[in-house]
Chains A and B, each alone.
Chain A
Amino acid sequence: MHIAAAADLEPLLPPLLTAFQQQTGIRAEASYQSSATLATQIIDGAPFDLFLAADLSFPQRVIAVGRAEESQPVPYARGTLVLWTRNDSGIATLSLDALRNSTVKSIAIANPLHAPYGRAAQAALEHSGLYDQLRAKLVVAENIAQTAQYVDSGNAQIGFISLTSALTPRLRADGRFIRVPAEDYPPILQGAIVVRGRAGSAAAHRFLDFLAQPASRHTLAAEGLEPVH
Chain B
Amino acid sequence: MDLQALWLTLRLAAATTAVLLALGIPLAYWLASARTRLRPLVEALTTLPILLPPTVLGFYLLVLLGPRTAFGRVAAHLLGHPLAFSFSGLVVGSVLYSLPFAVQPLAAGFRSVDTALLEQARLLGAGRWRTLTAVLLPLSTHSLVAAAALCFTHTIGEFGVVLMIGGDIPGATRTLSIAIYDQVQDFSWAAANRTSLLLICVAVLALFLLYAHRAQEDTGA
Contact (Cβ within 8 A) B66 A153? yes
Q: Is A105 an interface residue (CB 8 A)?
A: yes
Decide: A113 near B84, CB < 8 A? Known: A150-B167, A155-B67.
no
The CA-CA distance from A61 to B186 in the complex, in Å, is 11
Question: What is the chain B residue whose CB lies nearest that of A113?
Answer: B186
* Contact partner, A140, options B65, B82, B168, Cβ 8 Å: B168
The CA-CA distance from A143 to B110 in the complex, in Å, is 45
Contact (Cβ within 8 A) A155 B168? no
For chain B, what secondary structure do more than half of its interface residues adopt (helix, strand, loop), or is it mixed? loop
Residues of B within 8 A of A106 (CB): 82, 85
Contact (Cβ within 8 A) A155 B84? yes
Most central of A37, A111, A140, A156 by chain B CB within 10 Å = A140
User: Of residues 42 to 78 in B, which have CB atoms within 8 Å of A's CB atoms?
Assistant: 62-63, 65-68
- Chain B interface extent, by class: 20 to 34
Q: Is A16 an interface residue (CB 8 A)?
A: no
B74, chain A: closest CB distance, angstroms: 15
Decide: A139 near B66, CB < 8 A? Known: A40-B185, A105-B81, A155-B82.
no
Q: Is A142 an interface residue (CB 8 A)?
A: yes
Contact (Cβ within 8 A) B167 A140? yes
Decide: A114 near B186, CB < 8 A? Known: A105-B81, A149-B62, A155-B82.
yes
The CA-CA distance from A113 to B181 in the complex, in Å, is 11
Residues of B within 8 A of A34 (CB): 185
B60, chain A: closest CB distance, angstroms: 11
Residues of B within 8 A of A155 (CB): 62, 65-67, 82, 84-85, 165
Complex A-B: 11 CB contacts under 8 Å: A34-B185, A36-B186, A40-B184, A111-B185, A114-B185, A141-B167, A141-B168, A150-B62, A150-B84, A153-B63, A156-B167
Instruction: Given A139-B85, A139-B169, A154-B68, output 9 extra A-B contacts at Cβ < 8 Å.
Output: A34-B185, A108-B167, A111-B182, A113-B186, A114-B185, A138-B169, A142-B168, A150-B62, A155-B85
